[in-house]
Structure 1
Amino acid sequence: MIRKTLNASQLQQEVNRRIHRLQEIVDDGVKIRVPRPQLQEADKTGCNWNMTHFGNAIGFERDIEGVLKAMRAEYNLSTEVKDTGNPFGD
């Protein structure tokens, strides 16, 4: 399967959305802090990112790992660097 590519903010937002949609998390009213994805060398599955150090996640590690596993199978982190040009114009 070809992975879609998202930038770090988009990936973080989608992981956040999926985690806070899980019934156990909704039921407990917990707000989990989702870190930004970190670029890494592509692993054996071809995924080039990972997330660690979720905040307020004690007791929900298995749920979060399930979301990450699905997301890592679907998406890669964009490695493109946008050239914003020289802001000083010289």
Structure 2
Amino acid sequence: MIRKMLNASQLQQEVNRRLHRLPEIVEDGVKIRVPRPQLQEADKTDCNWTMTNFGNAIGFERDIESVLKAVRAEYNLSTEVKDTGNPFGD
């Protein structure tokens, strides 16, 4: 399966969205802090990013792991750098 590409903010938002839709997390009313994804060499599944150090996550490690596994299977971190041009024109 070919992964879609997202930038770091988009990946962070997608993991956040999926986590905070889980019934266990909704029921407990907990707000988990989702870190920015970190670029890494592609692993054995060809995923090129990881996330560590979630905040306020004690007791939800399995939920986080299942969301990460699903998102990592669907998306890769875009490494493209957009050229915004020189604002000073020199």
**Range class of TM-score, shorter chain:** over 0.9
**Unaligned 5+ runs, structure 1:** none
Distance 1:24 1:50 in 2: 23
Distance 1:35 1:86 in 2: 30
SS at the partner of 2:5? strand
Write out per-residue CA displacement over residues 11-58 of structure 1, whole angstroms, 9 at most, x where no aligned residue. Answer: 100000000000100000000000000010000100000000000000
Match runs of 1:3-82 below 5 Å: 3-82=3-82
Distance 1:40 1:85 in 2: 27
Identity of aligned residues (%): 90
TM-score, with length taken from structure 1: 0.98
Distance 1:87 1:37 in 2: 29
**Unaligned 5+ runs, structure 2:** none
Distance 2:2 2:75 in 1: 9
TM-score, with length taken from structure 2: 0.98
Count of residues in correspondence between the two structures: 90
Q: CA deviation at 1:87?
A: 1.9
Distance 1:71 1:14 in 2: 8
The CA RMSD over aligned residues, in Å, is 0.5
Distance 1:87 1:34 in 2: 33
Distance 1:37 1:65 in 2: 14
